[in-house]
A and B are shown apart, each in its own frame.
Chain A
Protein backbone atom coordinates (compact mmCIF):
# COMPACT_ATOMS: atom_id res chain seq x y z
CA UNK A 1 0.00 0.00 0.00
CA UNK A 2 1.31 3.49 -0.70
CA UNK A 3 1.57 5.90 2.20
CA UNK A 4 2.66 9.50 2.50
CA UNK A 5 3.92 10.94 5.76
CA UNK A 6 3.23 14.54 6.90
CA UNK A 7 6.43 15.76 5.23
CA UNK A 8 5.19 14.44 1.89
CA UNK A 9 7.59 11.50 1.88
CA UNK A 10 6.26 8.24 0.59
CA UNK A 11 6.71 4.55 1.29
CA UNK A 12 5.18 1.37 -0.04
CA UNK A 13 4.91 -2.04 1.59
CA UNK A 14 3.61 -5.00 -0.41
CA UNK A 15 3.14 -8.64 0.57
CA UNK A 16 2.54 -10.78 -2.50
CA UNK A 17 2.93 -14.23 -3.99
CA UNK A 18 4.11 -12.87 -7.37
CA UNK A 19 7.74 -12.21 -8.25
CA UNK A 20 9.04 -8.63 -8.50
CA UNK A 21 11.17 -6.66 -10.99
CA UNK A 22 13.81 -4.64 -9.14
CA UNK A 23 14.71 -2.52 -12.19
CA UNK A 24 11.11 -1.57 -12.84
CA UNK A 25 10.57 -0.70 -9.16
CA UNK A 26 13.68 1.52 -9.08
CA UNK A 27 12.66 3.23 -12.31
CA UNK A 28 9.20 3.91 -10.89
CA UNK A 29 10.69 5.38 -7.71
CA UNK A 30 13.12 7.67 -9.59
CA UNK A 31 10.59 8.92 -12.09
CA UNK A 32 9.95 12.62 -11.73
CA UNK A 33 11.78 13.04 -8.41
CA UNK A 34 14.87 15.24 -8.90
CA UNK A 35 15.56 15.35 -5.13
CA UNK A 36 16.82 11.76 -5.25
CA UNK A 37 20.61 11.52 -5.37
CA UNK A 38 21.12 7.84 -4.59
CA UNK A 39 19.17 4.60 -4.43
CA UNK A 40 20.23 1.47 -2.52
CA UNK A 41 18.50 -1.87 -2.98
CA UNK A 42 18.70 -5.32 -1.41
CA UNK A 43 17.27 -8.52 -2.86
CA UNK A 44 16.97 -11.65 -0.70
CA UNK A 45 17.05 -14.98 -2.56
CA UNK A 46 16.21 -18.58 -1.58
CA UNK A 47 19.39 -20.63 -1.05
CA UNK A 48 19.58 -24.32 -1.94
CA UNK A 49 21.20 -25.32 1.37
CA UNK A 50 20.25 -24.46 4.97
CA UNK A 51 21.75 -25.93 8.16
CA UNK A 52 23.70 -28.35 5.94
CA UNK A 53 20.65 -29.84 4.21
CA UNK A 54 19.55 -29.44 0.60
CA UNK A 55 16.33 -27.41 0.43
CA UNK A 56 13.98 -28.24 -2.45
CA UNK A 57 11.39 -25.57 -1.65
CA UNK A 58 10.06 -23.43 1.15
CA UNK A 59 6.73 -21.96 2.15
CA UNK A 60 6.40 -18.53 3.72
CA UNK A 61 3.54 -17.71 6.05
CA UNK A 62 2.68 -14.26 7.43
CA UNK A 63 0.20 -12.47 9.68
CA UNK A 64 -1.94 -10.38 7.31
CA UNK A 65 -2.33 -6.87 8.69
CA UNK A 66 0.34 -7.05 11.38
CA UNK A 67 3.06 -7.89 8.87
CA UNK A 68 2.35 -4.80 6.76
CA UNK A 69 2.03 -2.56 9.83
CA UNK A 70 5.26 -3.81 11.39
CA UNK A 71 7.22 -3.14 8.19
CA UNK A 72 5.68 0.33 7.91
CA UNK A 73 6.85 1.01 11.48
CA UNK A 74 10.36 -0.16 10.60
CA UNK A 75 10.48 2.18 7.58
CA UNK A 76 9.19 5.04 9.75
CA UNK A 77 11.99 4.36 12.25
CA UNK A 78 14.55 4.38 9.42
CA UNK A 79 13.14 7.71 8.27
CA UNK A 80 13.67 9.09 11.78
CA UNK A 81 17.38 8.24 11.62
CA UNK A 82 18.34 8.95 8.02
CA UNK A 83 17.24 11.07 5.07
CA UNK A 84 14.79 8.81 3.24
CA UNK A 85 12.92 10.31 0.30
CA UNK A 86 11.14 7.11 -0.67
CA UNK A 87 11.21 3.48 0.40
CA UNK A 88 9.72 0.27 -0.94
CA UNK A 89 9.56 -3.13 0.73
CA UNK A 90 8.17 -6.13 -1.19
CA UNK A 91 8.05 -9.51 0.56
CA UNK A 92 6.81 -12.66 -1.10
CA UNK A 93 4.76 -15.36 0.64
CA UNK A 94 3.63 -18.81 -0.47
CA UNK A 95 5.83 -21.49 -2.01
CA UNK A 96 9.31 -20.54 -3.25
CA UNK A 97 12.22 -22.52 -4.65
CA UNK A 98 16.02 -22.05 -4.65
CA UNK A 99 17.05 -19.04 -6.78
CA UNK A 100 13.61 -17.43 -6.32
CA UNK A 101 13.59 -13.87 -5.01
CA UNK A 102 12.01 -13.50 -1.54
CA UNK A 103 12.37 -9.90 -0.46
CA UNK A 104 13.17 -6.50 -1.97
CA UNK A 105 14.11 -3.32 -0.11
CA UNK A 106 14.72 -0.09 -2.03
CA UNK A 107 15.62 3.20 -0.36
CA UNK A 108 16.02 6.51 -2.17
CA UNK A 109 17.87 9.37 -0.47
CA UNK A 110 19.61 12.60 -1.36
CA UNK A 111 22.99 10.93 -0.69
CA UNK A 112 24.32 7.37 -0.73
CA UNK A 113 25.25 7.08 2.95
CA UNK A 114 21.66 7.46 4.06
CA UNK A 115 20.40 5.09 1.39
CA UNK A 116 22.90 2.33 2.27
CA UNK A 117 22.35 2.61 6.02
CA UNK A 118 18.56 2.81 5.90
CA UNK A 119 18.38 -0.16 3.50
CA UNK A 120 20.49 -2.35 5.79
CA UNK A 121 18.60 -1.20 8.90
CA UNK A 122 15.24 -2.04 7.31
CA UNK A 123 16.46 -5.53 6.35
CA UNK A 124 17.97 -6.23 9.79
CA UNK A 125 14.80 -5.15 11.57
CA UNK A 126 12.54 -6.97 9.14
CA UNK A 127 14.40 -10.24 9.82
CA UNK A 128 13.78 -10.00 13.56
CA UNK A 129 10.47 -8.12 13.88
CA UNK A 130 8.20 -8.64 10.90
CA UNK A 131 5.92 -11.68 11.33
CA UNK A 132 6.97 -14.13 8.62
CA UNK A 133 7.74 -17.80 9.11
CA UNK A 134 9.63 -20.11 6.75
CA UNK A 135 8.98 -23.82 6.46
CA UNK A 136 11.49 -25.64 4.31
CA UNK A 137 11.25 -28.92 2.46
CA UNK A 138 14.32 -31.17 2.60
CA UNK A 139 14.97 -34.83 1.76
CA UNK A 140 14.23 -35.58 5.42
CA UNK A 141 10.79 -33.95 5.29
CA UNK A 142 9.53 -30.47 6.08
CA UNK A 143 10.65 -28.35 9.04
CA UNK A 144 10.04 -24.88 10.40
CA UNK A 145 13.16 -22.74 10.21
CA UNK A 146 14.51 -21.68 13.62
CA UNK A 147 15.25 -18.03 14.32
CA UNK A 148 18.97 -17.21 14.29
CA UNK A 149 20.82 -15.51 17.12
CA UNK A 150 23.01 -13.81 14.47
CA UNK A 151 19.95 -12.02 13.12
CA UNK A 152 19.12 -10.69 16.60
CA UNK A 153 22.70 -9.43 16.91
CA UNK A 154 22.51 -7.76 13.49
CA UNK A 155 19.40 -5.86 14.59
CA UNK A 156 20.81 -5.08 18.04
CA UNK A 157 23.91 -3.31 16.75
CA UNK A 158 21.74 -0.47 15.47
CA UNK A 159 20.99 0.36 19.10
CA UNK A 160 24.61 0.74 20.12
CA UNK A 161 25.83 3.11 17.41
CA UNK A 162 28.20 1.55 14.94
Chain B
Protein backbone atom coordinates (compact mmCIF):
# COMPACT_ATOMS: atom_id res chain seq x y z
CA UNK B 1 0.00 0.00 0.00
CA UNK B 2 1.04 3.58 -0.63
CA UNK B 3 -0.55 6.71 0.81
CA UNK B 4 -1.51 9.23 -1.87
CA UNK B 5 -2.21 12.86 -0.95
CA UNK B 6 -3.85 15.46 -3.18
CA UNK B 7 -3.58 19.20 -2.64
CA UNK B 8 -5.22 22.43 -3.80
CA UNK B 9 -6.90 22.22 -7.22
CA UNK B 10 -6.42 18.45 -7.42
CA UNK B 11 -7.97 17.86 -4.01
CA UNK B 12 -11.07 19.76 -5.12
CA UNK B 13 -11.49 18.35 -8.60
CA UNK B 14 -10.79 14.76 -7.49
CA UNK B 15 -12.96 15.14 -4.39
CA UNK B 16 -10.31 13.49 -2.26
CA UNK B 17 -7.46 14.66 -0.01
CA UNK B 18 -5.99 11.24 0.71
CA UNK B 19 -6.27 7.57 -0.15
CA UNK B 20 -4.53 4.31 0.63
CA UNK B 21 -3.74 2.59 -2.65
CA UNK B 22 -2.67 -1.01 -3.29
CA UNK B 23 0.24 -0.73 -5.69
CA UNK B 24 -0.19 -2.99 -8.75
CA UNK B 25 2.94 -5.08 -9.43
CA UNK B 26 3.33 -3.34 -12.77
CA UNK B 27 3.81 0.07 -11.13
CA UNK B 28 7.44 0.72 -10.24
CA UNK B 29 7.70 4.49 -10.53
CA UNK B 30 5.79 7.75 -10.17
CA UNK B 31 4.97 7.96 -13.88
CA UNK B 32 3.44 4.48 -13.74
CA UNK B 33 1.34 5.39 -10.72
CA UNK B 34 0.14 8.60 -12.37
CA UNK B 35 -0.90 6.63 -15.49
CA UNK B 36 -2.91 4.14 -13.42
CA UNK B 37 -4.69 6.97 -11.57
CA UNK B 38 -5.37 8.87 -14.83
CA UNK B 39 -6.91 5.63 -16.14
CA UNK B 40 -9.79 6.08 -13.69
CA UNK B 41 -11.14 8.56 -16.25
CA UNK B 42 -13.18 11.73 -15.71
CA UNK B 43 -11.52 14.28 -13.45
CA UNK B 44 -8.64 11.82 -12.85
CA UNK B 45 -7.79 11.80 -16.54
CA UNK B 46 -8.18 15.58 -16.77
CA UNK B 47 -5.86 16.27 -13.87
CA UNK B 48 -3.25 13.53 -14.27
CA UNK B 49 -2.91 12.77 -17.99
CA UNK B 50 -0.59 15.71 -18.57
CA UNK B 51 -3.13 18.16 -19.97
CA UNK B 52 -2.88 20.35 -16.85
CA UNK B 53 0.33 21.20 -15.01
CA UNK B 54 0.89 18.85 -12.09
CA UNK B 55 3.82 18.27 -9.74
CA UNK B 56 4.48 15.37 -7.42
CA UNK B 57 6.50 14.41 -4.36
CA UNK B 58 7.57 11.03 -3.02
CA UNK B 59 8.17 10.90 0.71
CA UNK B 60 7.97 14.70 0.80
CA UNK B 61 10.74 15.23 -1.78
CA UNK B 62 9.96 16.66 -5.22
CA UNK B 63 9.89 13.76 -7.65
CA UNK B 64 9.97 13.03 -11.39
CA UNK B 65 8.25 10.39 -13.53
CA UNK B 66 11.15 7.97 -13.07
CA UNK B 67 11.27 8.30 -9.26
CA UNK B 68 10.81 4.74 -7.86
CA UNK B 69 7.68 3.96 -5.82
CA UNK B 70 7.62 1.26 -3.15
CA UNK B 71 5.13 -0.06 -0.64
CA UNK B 72 4.89 2.28 2.33
CA UNK B 73 5.76 5.43 0.37
CA UNK B 74 3.87 8.70 0.76
CA UNK B 75 3.11 10.13 -2.68
CA UNK B 76 1.56 13.56 -3.27
CA UNK B 77 0.15 15.20 -6.40
CA UNK B 78 -0.41 18.96 -6.57
CA UNK B 79 -0.35 21.98 -8.92
CA UNK B 80 2.76 24.14 -9.36
CA UNK B 81 3.30 26.04 -6.10
CA UNK B 82 2.10 29.63 -5.56
CA UNK B 83 3.23 30.66 -2.08
CA UNK B 84 5.14 33.70 -0.88
Closest to A60 in B: B83
B61, B80, B83, B84 — which one has the most chain A CB atoms within 10 A of its CB? B83
CB distance from B76 to the nearest CB of A (A): 6
Contact B7 A103, beta carbon cutoff 8 Å = no
Partner of B5, one of A63, A103, A132, A147: A63
Partner of A131, one of B9, B53, B81: B81
Q: A126 vs B81: C-alpha distance in the bound complex, in angstroms?
A: 9
CB distance from B14 to the nearest CB of A (A): 14
Question: What chain A residues lie within 8 Å of B9 (beta carbons)?
Answer: 133, 144
Tally inter-chain residue pairs, CB-CB below 8 A.
69
| A47 CB within 8 Å of chain B | no
| B43 CB within 8 Å of chain A | no
Q: A131 vs B55: C-alpha distance in the bound complex, in angstroms?
A: 10
Contact with B along A106-127 (1 / 0, CB 8 A): 0000000000000000010011
A66, A129, A146 — which one has the most chain B CB atoms within 10 A of its CB? A66
Query: Within residues 65 to 119 of chain A, which ones have a CB less than 8 A from any CB in chain B?
Result: 65-66, 69-70, 91, 102-103
Contact with A along B46-72 (1 / 0, CB 8 A): 000000010001001110000000000
| A13 CB within 8 Å of chain B | no
A interface list, Cβ under 8 A from B: 44, 60-63, 65-66, 69-70, 91, 102-103, 123, 126-135, 144-148, 151
The 5 A-B pairs at the shortest CB distance, nearest first, are namely A132-B83, A147-B80, A133-B8, A66-B60, A127-B84
B interface list, Cβ under 8 A from A: 5, 7-9, 53, 57, 60-62, 76, 78-84
